[in-house]
Amino acid sequence: MEKTLECFKRILGKSKKENIDILIRGIFGISALISASVIIIIIIFITIKGVTPFISYNQGLGQVNIFRFLTGRVWLDGAAFSSSLYGVGFIIINTVYIALLSLMISMPIGVLTALFIAKVAPQRLSIFLRTVVELLSAIPSIVYGLFGSGVILVLVYNFAELVGIQSKGGNSVIATVLVLSLMSLPTITAISEVAIRSVGKDIELGSLALGATKTQTNFKVVLASAKSGIFASAILGVGRALGEATAVSLVAGNSKSGPSLGLFDITSTLTSTMLEGLKETTGLDYDIRFSVGIVLMIVILLTNIILNYVKRKVGSVSVK
Amino acid sequence: MSNKRKLNDIFYQFITYISALISVLALSSIFMFVFIKGSSLLDFGLLFNDYHEKYYNGGFNGDIDFSLTPEPDNLEANEFYSSMWGIALKDAKDREGNAIIIVSYISKDSPFSNMYDKNSVDIESSIVIKEGNIVSKISYYDKPTSLTRYGAELMIKDLDTVTDIREVVYTSLGGGIRGSLLTTLFIIGLTLVLALPMGIFTAIYLNEFAKKNKITNLIRSLIETLTGVPSIIYGLMGLAVFVPFTIAITKADSANLISGSMTLAVILLPIIIRSTEESLKVIPDDLRTASLALGANKTQTTFRAVLPSAYPGIVTATLLAVGRIIGESAALIFAIGTAIKDDVSIFGRSTTLSVHIWSLMKDEPANIELASTIALIILIIVLALNILVKLVSKKFITKIV
């Protein structure tokens, strides 16, 4: 027995300490491999599940037509579990429309707040504001949703009544946009602030030396030099707006057809559609959510690619 | 400087002030809303009550031993006491705003402490009215029934005139969040057990063991990609991978807390890995080389010399992770379900606090009060965690310096 052990040791040529090293290294390496493979597992499983409705006959309901699915203007023609006529075309438009609108609100506010914190405010005030932004980003999305349905819906409803428009209890495009812009505000502010802070001091001093005022310098030089970082914050903000689910589902109103372009129309996004009416755990009405999930991931990916392209175009313009 | 220039500058300054003000307003209005709507229901009873109320029908068998306890001194003006039955009642409003009659005091020798359960086939079964129960009606043999809408005072007056009762209908107070609180705690525990070792090991591997080559870079960028995935996609993954997996290897037969924890663990992995790596990176290489030079092997160096210095980073990661678990809703709706439960089992469905809010808001009509109370609890916890993170990192920084 001892001889064989001795033999093994000689073959391996390693001491006990070194063997432990190899073991520990192996365990840690396997952990790293598992962590890295999770994203691959996600992609594989969601793709398999999401593609099924298009290639199987769905228990006699027939294949879902992929062209109709991507361009459809009605979520489902017929009753759930008895029809395969799904469409998400209008939901894709809704989702992108809402995300861009919310960016149009959160972007200027966020960037200007960042500028205020980084350059304008006295130190104490900027510490206070930074804490405010941190707290805003720590608030869970469901609380934003609750705030949306408790306050923003009421405001929108009253405003719509004031101008004489019918709104379904305030559930509308504008309510969703407001909730989402509130949610992406801290992300945009925090990242823009870092970008603004990292602008070189010499550029700023150069501008001041040329006779520009402090405010002129802040707006024309500092913001322009930080625009690559500011654009990065916009990309993250849009990502958050596109992927947000629970808060949106509480204020969107879940329309079944569209697209909804009017500000006071009820609407639906890819995420809110996925959350709606999840009762069964088998069948087409369940599987189709994975297809919507794939569409969501593709929409996020495409938006990222487009925005990154724009960022490169914009960022390459020299400001010096 | 021209006047026009000055005006322009003032205008531009002004809009930065306004923007900053909007952020402050947003935060304060969220807090105010949650606090105003939620604080009225916030009490300790809420934390330990069941969500679903239970109905009881009590009756008396044979002779009744009446209470001998005199009226206690500490009863308030709106509490009415029957010394014969040893019970004090008061009018109140429930969480939906309906009038109810609550038992505010019950003496030790009250006949209501020894009733039989009319809903049970077992004749020996005994049920007890407890303080906090809601009495909805008391019916007698030779008198009209006392109902909630006549108020507590009349009910006590009726009680004082009778010597026998046909039936007492009462319910336990519902609307509590004990089940969701318990679920949240279970989920936090399970998720951390799954995610922390995995994340820390990965971080150590990447920072201490891995060579700088393409494979390591690939692993890094794959993990980085996880941060960009929206949580609802993780939910789908939980539904497609972890729910069937847990059904196959445990006794669960539906979505359950384990599948939920696994889903959350995946969400947390990049957070834990990054935070741990950050703290490993700032540890000076001298520490490692000194340990190795003293004859320690790589394992000893990692566990004895490097890891202890990385503790603050790991603690920060844990606190951030707990915050994320408490706040997560979309992924859990898919991975655990939305049924609010009082009897929590890790093999069954139930809701965390966040999902509880979502379920309440999706109900018709939505219960905003209770939802806000839960939101208030969540906000308090999240804020406390944030402060803790700051304290830990402050301590950490002073230690390194």
Query: pLDDT of B336-384, one tens digit each?
Result: 888 888 878 888 888 889 999 998 888 877 788 888 989 999 999 998 9
In angstroms, the Cα distances linking B34 to B23, B373, B379 are 17, 7, 9
Give the range of the structural domain holding residue A125, as residue numbers without chain letter.
89-315
Helices (H) and strands (E) in chain B, counts: 14, 9
Count Cβ atoms within 10 A of the Cβ of residue B70 and give its class: 0-12 exposed, 13-18 middle, 19 or more buried: exposed
| Residues of chain B contacting A27 with CB distance shorter than 8 Å | 201
In a domain, A60, yes or no: no
In a domain, A69, yes or no: no
How many other CB atoms are found less than 10 A from the CB of residue A26? 12
Which among A225, A146, A223, A129 is positioned nearest to A185, based on CA atoms?
A129
State mean pLDDT over A31-42. Answer: 90
- Dihedral angle computed from the Cα positions of residues B50, B54, B60 and B66, in that order, rounded to the nearest 10 degrees: 30
Domain match, A35 and A183 both: no
Contact at CB, A138 and B386, closer than 8 angstroms = yes
- Dihedral angle computed from the Cα positions of residues A124, A126, A130 and A135, in that order, rounded to the nearest 10 degrees: 60
Helix (H) / strand (E) element for B265: namely: helix B257-281
Domain match, A8 and A103 both: no
Q: Residues 367..396 of B with a Cβ closer than 8 Å to A: which?
A: 368, 371-372, 375, 378-379, 382-383, 385-386
B320 at the A interface (CB within 8 A)? Answer: no
Minimum-distance CB partner of B30 among A38, A143, A274: A143
- The angle at the Cα of B84, spanning B82 to B85, to the nearest 5 degrees, equals 70
Residue A264 backbone dihedrals phi, psi, to 5 degrees:
-105, 5
Which among B61, B80, B239, B64 is positioned nearest to B157, based on CA atoms?
B80
Q: Is the dihedral of CA A135, A141, A146, A149 positive or negative?
A: positive
pLDDT over 80 at A6, yes or no: no
Domain match, A96 and A18 both: no
Helix (H) / strand (E) element for B127: namely: strand B126-127
Tokens for B65, please give them.
């031993």
Average pLDDT of chain A to the nearest whole number = 86
Share of chain A above pLDDT 70, in %: 91
State mean pLDDT over A176-201. Answer: 92
User: According to CATH, what is the number of the domain B178-400?
Assistant: 1.10.3720.10
Higher pLDDT pick, A165 / B267: B267
pLDDT of residue A177: 95
Rounded CA separation A35/B264 (Å) = 13
Please, what's the largest Cα pairwise distance for chain A? 94
Q: Residues 348..367 of B with a Cβ closer than 8 Å to A: which?
A: 354-355, 357-358, 361-362, 366
C-beta of residue A196 within 8 angstroms of C-beta of residue A181: no
The one-letter amino acid at B134? I
pLDDT class of A319 with cuts at 50, 70, 90: very low
Domain match, A191 and A249 both: yes
* Cα radius of gyration (chain A): 26
In a domain, A12, yes or no: yes
Domain match, A158 and A37 both: no
In a domain, A195, yes or no: yes
Higher pLDDT pick, A299 / B64: A299
How many other CB atoms are found less than 10 A from the CB of residue A228? 13
* Cα radius of gyration (chain B): 30
In a domain, A209, yes or no: yes
C-beta of residue A217 within 8 angstroms of C-beta of residue A120: no
For every one of its 401 residues, what pLDDT tens digit does chain B have, with 9 covering 90 and above? 578 888 888 888 899 999 999 989 998 999 999 998 888 777 777 777 777 777 888 887 777 778 878 888 777 878 888 888 888 888 887 766 678 888 888 888 888 887 888 777 776 677 788 877 888 888 888 788 888 778 888 888 888 888 788 888 888 877 778 888 899 999 999 999 999 999 999 999 998 888 888 888 898 889 888 888 899 999 999 988 998 899 998 888 888 899 999 999 999 999 999 888 888 888 888 888 898 899 888 888 888 888 888 888 888 889 989 999 999 998 998 888 888 888 788 888 888 899 999 988 888 777 888 889 899 999 999 989 988 888 887 776 665 54
B35 at the A interface (CB within 8 A)? Answer: no
Q: Are strands B55-59 and B146-147 parallel, antiparallel or unpaired?
A: unpaired
Rounded CA separation A43/A50 (Å) = 10
**A253 DSSP assignment:** B
A100 at the B interface (CB within 8 A)? Answer: no
Per residue in A73-117, pLDDT (tens digit) is: 888 877 777 777 888 899 999 999 999 999 999 999 999 999 999
- Cα B201 off chain centre by: 29
The CATH number for A230's domain is 1.10.3720.10
Domain match, A100 and A37 both: no
pLDDT of residue A10: 57
In a domain, A176, yes or no: yes
The one-letter amino acid at B212? K
Tokens for B202, please give them.
């990965």
**Structural domain total, chain A:** 2
Domain match, A49 and A101 both: no
ipTM for the predicted complex comes to: 0.87
Domain match, A11 and A96 both: no
pLDDT of residue A77: 79
Domain boundaries for CATH 2.30.42 within chain B: 53-171
Higher pLDDT pick, A174 / B154: A174
Which residue in the block uniquely carries the two structure tokens 């993780």?
B234
pLDDT class of A14 with cuts at 50, 70, 90: low
Domain match, A36 and A97 both: no
Q: Is the dihedral of CA B39, B40, B41, B44 positive or negative?
A: positive
- Three-state secondary-structure class, residue A171: strand
- The angle at the Cα of B257, spanning B251 to B261, to the nearest 5 degrees, equals 120
pLDDT of residue B123: 66
Domain boundaries for CATH 1.10.3720.10 within chain B: 178-400
Contact at CB, B323 and A109, closer than 8 angstroms = no
Rounded CA separation A277/A280 (Å) = 9
C-beta of residue B255 within 8 angstroms of C-beta of residue B262: no
* Interacting residues of A8 by C-beta distance below 8 A, sequence separation 6+: none
In a domain, A83, yes or no: no
Which residue in the block uniquely carries the two structure tokens 């290897």?
B249
- CATH class assigned to B53-171: mainly beta
pLDDT of residue B1: 59
Which among A197, A220, A194, A196 is positioned nearest to A207, based on CA atoms?
A220
Q: Residues 158..187 of B with a Cβ closer than 8 Å to A: which?
A: none
Rounded CA separation B376/B384 (Å) = 12
In a domain, A65, yes or no: no
State mean pLDDT over A19-36. Answer: 88
- Cα B364 off chain centre by: 22
